[in-house]
Amino acid sequence: MGAIAAPIQPGQLTAWEAFMAELNGPRRPEFNDMNRRFGISEHRAWFQRTPGGHQMAIVVQDGPGSAGFLGKLAVSENLFDIWFCGSLEEAHGIDFDRLTLPPAEQRL
pLDDT tens for 32-43 read: 999 999 999 999
Residue 60 lies in a domain: yes
In a domain, 103, yes or no: no
Question: What's the structural domain count of the chain?
Answer: 1
Q: What is the CATH number of the domain that holds 72?
A: 3.30.70
Q: Are strands 2-7 and 42-49 parallel, antiparallel or unpaired?
A: unpaired
Q: Is residue 107 situated within a structural domain?
A: no
Residue 108 lies in a domain: no
Q: Is residue 86 part of a domain?
A: yes
C-alpha–C-alpha distance, residues 15 and 9, integer Å: 10
Distance CA(27)–CA(100), nearest Å, equals 28
Phi/psi region, residue 94 (left: phi>0; alpha: psi -120 to 50; beta: rest), is beta
Contacts of 18 (CB under 8 A, 6+ apart): none
Q: Which domain holds residue 64?
A: 2-96
Whether 92 is covered by a domain: the verdict is: yes
Residue 104 lies in a domain: no
For the chain, 108 residues long, give each residue's pLDDT as a single digit of tens: 778 888 999 999 999 999 999 999 999 999 999 999 999 999 999 999 989 888 999 999 999 988 888 888 889 999 999 999 999 999 998 777 666 555 666 666
